[in-house]
Amino acid sequence: MNIVLFESDEIGQPLVLSDERAKHILGVLGRQKSDTFDAGVIDGKRGKATVDSIGTESISLSFDLQHEEPSLYPIDLIVGLSRPQTNRKILQEATSMGVRSLSFVTTERGEASYATSKLWTTREWRRHVVAGVVQAFTTRMPQVSFGISLKVALEAKANAEVKIALDNYEADLTLSEVDRGSDSIALALGSERGWSGAEREMLREHHFQLAHLGPRPLRTETAVVAGIAVLLR
């Protein structure tokens, strides 16, 4: 953990020793009474926490959180639902890179069952988002939605300044050649089997420009990271 994060209602409460964060503070960081470590409140301020006491069942902490975190990058990601293991990687990596939102959409070539996997039904997804936030040494979490249709997701980004869909088959420009602007970018990627012809037409109807990342087909999670990296240049 590059930073230890807490929910706002956990501040001032004992942290049980069985909690992974307590194990990290005491075991990995090696903190003892009166020692400090980097901490923050999810979607709140960042600063230092102090170990006030170490008991047999829990530790007590105090917080000095003064640093206001900057806003996330104005990049809204739309991704076709893929296998749960792929979605887990996307959740963590896209979050660590600072995107503002992630929308996982149903597509014609994606498996319908992906939307009802335990990743989504048990809120496991949030754990992977938090892991991405921790990796990035920040507190800001992106908005996450899942199981919505591609059409609904595209309509929700109607006001985006720049709209781009990655596609290896019909795109004429590379992503780096697209005029990316700066205020708001919506980036769409298909599921592991890509877009259907009807979905490409829908993307165009919603003013999404097709672009590619080169001639080599990439895994979805790799394309997500590469696409975000190009947009952040």
Contact between 183 and 139 (Cβ < 8 Å): no
Task: Read off the DSSP letter of residue 181.
Answer: -
Percentages (nearest 5) of helix, strand, coil residues in the chain? 35, 30, 35
Query: 218: burial class by Cβ within 10 Å (0-12, 13-18, 19+)?
Result: middle
**Taking the chain, what is the end-to-end CA distance rounded to the nearest angstrom?**
27
Number of H helices, E strands in the chain: 7, 12
- At 216, phi and psi to the nearest 5? -90, 125
Matching CATH topology for 4-67 and 73-231? no
- At 90, phi and psi to the nearest 5? -65, -45
The pLDDT, as a whole number, for residue 196 is 95
**Global pTM value:** 0.93
The pLDDT, as a whole number, for residue 81 is 96
The CATH homologous superfamily of the domain defined by 4-67: Hypothetical PUA domain-like; domain 1 (2.40.240.20)
3 state SS of 29 = coil
Length of the chain: 233
Domain segments of the chain: what residues? Answer: 4-67, 73-231
- pLDDT by position in tens, the chain (length 233): 999 999 999 999 999 999 999 999 999 999 999 999 999 999 999 999 999 999 999 999 999 999 999 999 999 999 999 999 999 999 999 999 999 999 999 999 989 899 999 999 999 999 999 999 999 999 999 999 999 999 999 999 999 999 999 999 999 999 999 987 778 999 999 998 899 999 999 999 999 999 999 999 999 999 999 999 999 98
The pLDDT, as a whole number, for residue 233 is 85
Instruction: For residues 59 and 69, give the distance between their C-alpha atoms in angstroms, rounded to a whole number.
Output: 26
Tell me the CATH number of domain 73-231, given options 3.40.50.970, 3.90.870.30, 3.30.1490.20, 3.40.1280.10: 3.40.1280.10
The pLDDT, as a whole number, for residue 225 is 98
